[in-house]
Amino acid sequence: MAWDFETDPEFQKELDWIDQFVRKEVEPLDHVLGSPYDIHNPRNQKLVRPLQAEVKKRKLWACHLGPELGGPGYGQLKLALMNEILGRARFAPVVFGTQAPDTGNAEILAHYGTPEQKKKYLEPLLNNDIVSCFSMTEPHGGADPKVFKCRAELQGDFWAINGEKWFSSNARYAAFLIVMAVTDPDASPYQKMSMFLVPADTPGINILRNVGVGTEEEEGAHAYIRYEDARVPRENLLGKRGQGFEVAQTRLGGGRIHHAMRTMGQIKKAFDMMCERVLSRETQGEILANKQMVQEQIADSWIEMEQFRLLVLRTAWRIDKYNDYRKVRKDIAAIKALMPQVYHDVVYRALRLHGSLGISNEMPFSEQIAQSFVMGLADGPTEVHKVTVARQVLREYQPTAGLFPSGHLLTLREKAIEKYGKLLELEIGNQ
């Protein structure tokens, strides 16, 4: 039996280095640069490329990749411990080569791309010479692909894609998009979709606007796209025709847990600021930390944060153990459902304890609150994941066949008397 809550000392050294590197070198980038995906911006290249070189020299680049793709083959548990540090800064995933959606798109290309596609797109993607976009969600359908309308029709040696996609993140910077479209509208809901590799310079890709999140003043990064007869070669079908759902699962299982890992970094960051604040701010003759209602908020935040963290780490451990996302579907859905609530609640308390400063744009809490809502929608809404958890849990139980439930006390007493009654009578008779 093996059950351990300690980190290997050698890997802890790497985590300590990552923590210091992110705090000192990477977090400042968030305040002087724009989007981490604007990789051809001269300012980004000047500041980000040297840091990426240090990470590669340390052999910590793209640690999610297996050896067959040039990575170290770290398991999900190690990645969890790394990503909760990387989650502190917007630029950290790019500096370490682990940014979404590129990680998931790389998995799709690794599994389903042709040798030519891997050479042209996968290799530069893994090296962050290009970035990509996952174009799946539709304006009317949200996260339910079964009602998608975007069509791809085979016309000779080309697929023609027509329809609209919503919140296609980073499309404005992408070298290619992976697009989910209906290819067999009369097939069953899970066999009518297919995935396509669509180069960004394909005629017919029209970005109607780039949508921001919350109160972002600048143009956002989430594209509203209209595909109008966007034609791609026949071989740009990823996987088999009608295999879109299966291809999507190649990236979603790992992506969901990585979201949780990075979110843990933001939660801890907000918690650290909250603790610093209550020890520094004095009101009504004493510091905030001495007030019991404040202490309750600190205690609730720490308890919720640690519960979430341990659930994430155990889920990562189980993925490594089983090497099969289907066996941990319940666990992944559980952390995905819990994540936005813990994120919101901890940040909300941090905001409140900072008073008017907390709600101002001079602190990060308003943006974090908005991101907590994003986490409740990205990769499927919270409600869908709760349904998954419930269904998976209920598979482990059976209905009762009797009139009363199995915990009915009178029935249990009758069974206990039937089992032990004679022994008790014998004991009394011998006294």
Assess whether pLDDT exceeds 80 at residue 389.
yes
Give 424's pLDDT tier (boundaries 50, 70, 90).
confident
Cα 142 from Cα 379, distance rounded (Å): 10
Contact call for residues 141 and 149 (beta carbons, < 8 A)? yes
93 preceded by a cis bond (ω within 30 of 0): no
Mean pLDDT of the chain: 92
Assess whether pLDDT exceeds 90 at residue 277.
yes
Contact call for residues 126 and 62 (beta carbons, < 8 A)? yes
pLDDT of the residue at 427: 66
The partner residues of 225 in beta bridges, in order of sequence, read 165, 207
| Domains of the chain in sequence order | 9-99 (1.10.540.10), 132-238 (2.40.110.10), 246-394 (1.20.140.10)
- The residue assigned the tokens 């009394």 is 428
Give 405's pLDDT tier (boundaries 50, 70, 90).
very high
pLDDT of the residue at 302: 98
Choose among 230, 80, 197: nearest CA to 130.
197
Assess whether pLDDT exceeds 80 at residue 150.
yes
pLDDT digits (tens, 9 = 90+) for 162-215: 999 999 999 999 999 999 999 999 998 889 999 999 999 999 999 999 998 887
Assess whether pLDDT exceeds 70 at residue 257.
yes
Assess whether pLDDT exceeds 90 at residue 250.
no
pLDDT of the residue at 73: 81
Region 260-285: mean pLDDT is 95
- DSSP annotation of 379: T
Region 253-260: mean pLDDT is 78
Cα 392 from Cα 330, distance rounded (Å): 6
pLDDT of the residue at 172: 95
pLDDT of the residue at 97: 94
Cα 134 from Cα 174, distance rounded (Å): 10
Distance, C-alpha 339 to centroid of its chain: 9
Token pair listed for 37: 């995906």
pTM higher than the cut 0.75 = yes
Cα 53 from Cα 404, distance rounded (Å): 67
pLDDT of the residue at 249: 77
pLDDT digits (tens, 9 = 90+) for 70-128: 778 888 899 999 999 999 999 999 999 999 899 889 989 988 999 999 999 999 999 99
Element (H or E) spanning 223, and its range? strand 222-233
pLDDT of the residue at 219: 76
Assess whether pLDDT exceeds 90 at residue 429.
no
E strand intervals along 234-317: 237-238, 282-283, 286-287
pLDDT of the residue at 170: 94
Cα 258 from Cα 341, distance rounded (Å): 17
Assess whether pLDDT exceeds 70 at residue 8.
yes
Assess whether pLDDT exceeds 90 at residue 350.
yes
The residues, any chain, with a CB within 8 Å of residue 131's CB and separated by 6 or more, are 37, 39, 99, 102, 125, 170, 173, 174, 175
Cα 194 from Cα 414, distance rounded (Å): 59
First to last CA, the chain: 46
Region 308-322: mean pLDDT is 93
Assess whether pLDDT exceeds 70 at residue 347.
yes
